[in-house]
Structure 1
């Protein structure tokens, strides 16, 4: 990373009669040279309108979250001096410290760039209070660490702890392998903690007996505690969940004096929902393969079983496709001199990153060993700026280059359903994806296509007339139906965001749609015959702020999502009995616009990810907010 020669400080202030308020920027020259004729670029989710009013600066351009300004003609920024300018006509007011500039850089007259240090947004006249307490003290009513809490449990606490749990003689090799998988999971998550399981008898250990019982459902288990621990399981998933429960019980008792290991009693357990998911957006920010595997380990510890991998978006294409190397050679890099401009925290240095097919196979295999299904997503037809920059032949050359803009401010960012080569391209992408991802579900996005998309494309208008289609969403439905048939031909079912249902939708048979905009959307989708995964931003989007205070990081378009609301939210609440079978389950979504570092990630994702895990597993009448508040701080973090 380049050394910062400048510092940018940014403050937001309200303006009477202007709902968006305004920014004050101050650029400080930390070098020993004077500069003139330069330009300042910054990235911010609080975007300016098309022709913002400025004082002491000229607005040059905006592309989505990228903004560029210049000082007045003849201005010289001397060493130690500063350039102050103001900007108004913002699309929305700032509400939190992460709503300002995330990164910045200076471009000199010779085209070179210099790094600019920038911190979170300040609020004029604001003195931050003590941070909000996101969890209460909590209350341990039963002295056992289990998260998620089981469906049924009657246990007696012991006074001592076994040194390890070990399998009895004659244990089958498949059971030994399963035990070792959970041993490895615990070791990766808690590398300084003593091992939970041994593979051979230990003088101060406790024997473990495995029993396969076909009458139990595949993901159910039963634990009985006495002179030995008996783990009965219905299938390999149930066996893993039972071993994970044992690992949690012993690990928790070792880490916190409030918890004990059982000497008698039983646990009878199975999940509430079949789909217990977590989504990760790797387009806005790139997560190395090892970090993705770490998150998958955390999901396994929490008994979540779906990893929804959001691999493409406007900001980057992250999946190696051998038929189209341009997708990652061009579409996975952002920088001042790259085809994709800096966004969401990028500065003077180019940033790049994608997953090779070898890395994908490793991650998918790792998840599979932990009974986690990896559902890949390429987001189409919208959110495709990176794709279209890498493969401009996918555009209608007769369409004006800025005939519509997405809600994030990207011009002409959707694949054109009337360009026939679009389907050839997607077919080759799908051919490679089905070789990489064994999941029977492939997610194709379908969200946030602007209402006037393609209306300036002669090819699209001709296609609409030929097929009798009504507007943007009629054309999107036509596109999605073709995509659905392409997936079916490859043995895959279509998943998408709730907008896939617009304009006529697709065949609901075998289709899974995710209700994200608001909770009542899920019920409407179920009425239309779609299977539904509930992931409303108002409860399950983990980039949302957790408190109203300015100092709380995150975004707030869906409101303030406190951990207690995430925990207590009931996805099935409005579903009548006849439609409840349509509810596949629930899912957390980790959108990465605000996750510039690991600390932000941990602050926003925890404790809400464990809260969703318990909501996905534990029956409503077994949930307890104060118990959860006591247990959640012991969960592993990213």
Structure 2
């Protein structure tokens, strides 16, 4: 890799403006003087007062894209620098990832040149060592199980079997389940000793399968003796979870024999606390290759989660191939200086794209199904559609005033218009293709963060509201979502969405599942309205949140500081009245990708909090133990 020709360094200071100010310095490390240029950087800390900058001219902003020019006549010589300040910020910077995420120069010739970006510094502060997020932990029972089982009455043995192998007489399906478990383990732990074999071994222990309809769905029973293990189950998922527990036990005993043991007597009787045990991934802000998606699904299955919520569209890109509208995955994914969508959230001079073909989707769905994971696709509507509207401009009301409203992320006029007839034809065609790709019971339609004031400058929307006798953004959103639910019902699918789906009158509660993300109380309110609810509050289960208050900690902070101990200890049922608890379907982790510019950031923020949520989803409250969890979770695989 060539050394950087230009570097942008920045500092945030708490004074200089209502929300503090940035000081940026561009260093010219090239062999030529620099003049007649502009500088672009992307940042989640946006400029809202374009005049509040010093030694620079603000040129334009589009959400997180910012462009500035130096004063006329400025030349930055070889080895010299240019410094400017920005104080008209929409919020203070609280963490190192609140600064510039990427940058580039547009030269006088029109050429775009990458600029290296340094970490954001806080004026007057020294970078402290990262905090210790996990204690060493303590084990009452020396077993490497995650999540911890519902009931365990097993005794540790001395040593461990080399492998576990199917006993004589097991069925073809049981043999195939062991083979699947072998492949699953090998993908997660490429250099570790695989715990299973299809062939018998004198150094191993036989595994007898027992189909037992009396065992609850997804549950299993393991019984250990010195010469045999029996695995009882009632369905394929329970059999898989039993095999996964055996793999965890043997892997722990082999990799850390001084800490973990393998049982030689007793039982493990297990089953999940909740039916919905989810993990969400936002692939719009950052694109994840198919290999990364399938590895995350492998990790989800290892943790006995059963839902992969795939967030496939947002303002920044539409990632799902829809053959009826090829522009969605050409114009709707390309971000770059001269592309239909400007750089956002880490993009620079080089264009970036990426989408999932329908063949990719089929392979990922099949992979997940083989591990008892259901893929729930999400296309986010009506808000969060800046990329969609760039790709399919026929979806706009051509008479609507531009920039008549902005989303909370700073996007102008980014919501599909309920009064444009083509909106419904477009979505009918999209859903027709989605139901062929995704056999899931639910399709998630988003429904979140539509800006109050959306569509009110649209003549078509005004006319529709008059005809329907409704007023305001959220009543119009409710009208729109009711039509969407009818589309899904006609296709044999149920509607899932974020908690704002209930705004403005919402949609019918029957066969509707809503995710409470804004705060824990929202879930109780939705349950009172008759909705089934999945709890995924940002204050505990959003894995992009910072884990400590120190400035150098990466991540978002709008929901506060979320250390692993808080995520683990949080009880999603909270203050749910007893009569409403049956409305709570389960819990879900959410991986929003604005801050995940590297695998290092991903793993630092997602783990160990994803395993913590998995334990909250599976393990009974009375059986949870933070010290035990901390002792076991370092064995978890990461991306």
TM-score bucket (shorter structure): over 0.9
Q: What residue is the counterpart of 1:375 in the other structure?
A: 376
Q: Which digits, 9 at most, give the CA deviation of each residue in 1:461-497, with x for residues without a partner? A: 1101100112000000000000000000000000000
Q: What residue is the counterpart of 1:320 in the other structure?
A: 321
Equivalents in 2 of 1:60, 1:556: separation in Å? 28
Q: What residue is the counterpart of 1:239 in the other structure?
A: 239
Map residues 459-608 of structure 1 onto 2, 5 A cutoff: 459-608=460-609
Equivalents in 2 of 1:471, 1:478: separation in Å? 11
How far 1:3 moved relative to its partner?
6.5
How far 1:55 moved relative to its partner?
1.0
| 1:27 and 2:26 are equivalent in the alignment | yes
Residues 400, 55 of structure 1: alpha-carbon distance in 2 compared, 3 angstrom cutoff? same
Equivalents in 2 of 1:575, 1:73: separation in Å? 62
Q: Would you say the 8 A contact 1:540–1:587 is kept in 2? A: yes
Q: What residue is the counterpart of 2:366 in the other structure?
A: 365
Which SS does the other structure have where 2:119 is aligned?
coil
Equivalents in 1 of 2:333, 2:19: separation in Å? 33
How far 1:5 moved relative to its partner?
2.0
How far 1:14 moved relative to its partner?
0.9
Equivalents in 1 of 2:142, 2:136: separation in Å? 15
Q: What residue is the counterpart of 1:99 in the other structure?
A: 98
How far 1:50 moved relative to its partner?
3.9
Q: Would you say the 8 A contact 1:115–1:347 is kept in 2? A: yes
Equivalents in 2 of 1:194, 1:202: separation in Å? 15
Map residues 387-466 of structure 1 onto 2, 5 A cutoff: 387-466=388-467
Equivalents in 1 of 2:624, 2:302: separation in Å? 18
Map residues 180-199 of structure 1 onto 2, 5 A cutoff: 180-199=179-198
What's the TM-score once normalised by structure 1's chain length?
A: 0.99
How far 1:406 moved relative to its partner?
0.4
Q: Would you say the 8 A contact 2:501–2:514 is kept in 1? A: yes
Equivalents in 2 of 1:446, 1:345: separation in Å? 26
Equivalents in 2 of 1:526, 1:324: separation in Å? 37
Equivalents in 2 of 1:421, 1:130: separation in Å? 55
Which SS does the other structure have where 1:614 is aligned?
helix
Q: Would you say the 8 A contact 1:2–1:114 is kept in 2? A: no
Equivalents in 1 of 2:406, 2:27: separation in Å? 34
Paired residues in the alignment total: 637
Equivalents in 2 of 1:234, 1:201: separation in Å? 25
Q: Which digits, 9 at most, give the CA deviation of each residue in 1:76-103, with x for residues without a partner? A: 1111100000010100000100000000
| 1:131 and 2:130 are equivalent in the alignment | yes
Q: Would you say the 8 A contact 1:20–1:90 is kept in 2? A: yes
Residues 268, 13 of structure 1: alpha-carbon distance in 2 compared, 3 angstrom cutoff? same
Map residues 239-278 of structure 1 onto 2, 5 A cutoff: 239-256=239-256, 257-278=258-279
Q: Which digits, 9 at most, give the CA deviation of each residue in 1:70-128, with x for residues without a partner? A: 00100011111000000101000001000000000000122110000002211111101
Q: Would you say the 8 A contact 2:48–2:89 is kept in 1? A: yes
Q: Would you say the 8 A contact 1:319–1:354 is kept in 2? A: yes
Q: Which digits, 9 at most, give the CA deviation of each residue in 1:43-72, with x for residues without a partner? A: 000001042411110010110000000001
Equivalents in 2 of 1:475, 1:4: separation in Å? 50
Equivalents in 1 of 2:588, 2:51: separation in Å? 39
Map residues 78-117 of structure 1 onto 2, 5 A cutoff: 78-117=77-116
Q: What residue is the counterpart of 2:230 in the other structure?
A: 230
Which SS does the other structure have where 1:20 is aligned?
coil
Q: Would you say the 8 A contact 1:156–1:263 is kept in 2? A: yes
Map residues 347-362 of structure 1 onto 2, 5 A cutoff: 347-362=348-363
Q: Would you say the 8 A contact 2:49–2:89 is kept in 1? A: no
Which SS does the other structure have where 1:397 is aligned?
coil
How far 1:200 moved relative to its partner?
1.4
Equivalents in 1 of 2:69, 2:149: separation in Å? 60
Q: Which digits, 9 at most, give the CA deviation of each residue in 1:185-206, with x for residues without a partner? A: 1100001011111111101100
Moved more, 180-189 or 267-276: 180-189
Residues 90, 489 of structure 1: alpha-carbon distance in 2 compared, 3 angstrom cutoff? same
How far 1:401 moved relative to its partner?
1.5
Q: Would you say the 8 A contact 1:417–1:460 is kept in 2? A: yes
Which SS does the other structure have where 2:19 is aligned?
strand
Q: What residue is the counterpart of 1:201 in the other structure?
A: 200
How far 1:4 moved relative to its partner?
3.5
Q: Would you say the 8 A contact 2:137–2:631 is kept in 1? A: yes
Q: What residue is the counterpart of 2:626 in the other structure?
A: 625
Equivalents in 1 of 2:18, 2:585: separation in Å? 41
Moved more, 358-367 or 119-128: 119-128
Equivalents in 2 of 1:247, 1:619: separation in Å? 22
Q: Which digits, 9 at most, give the CA deviation of each residue in 1:394-427, with x for residues without a partner? A: 0000001211100000000000000010000000
Equivalents in 1 of 2:635, 2:82: separation in Å? 47
What's the TM-score once normalised by structure 2's chain length?
A: 0.99
Which SS does the other structure have where 1:4 is aligned?
coil
Q: Would you say the 8 A contact 1:2–1:349 is kept in 2? A: no
Moved more, 122-131 or 37-46: 122-131
How far 1:137 moved relative to its partner?
1.2
Which SS does the other structure have where 1:444 is aligned?
strand
Which SS does the other structure have where 2:72 is aligned?
coil
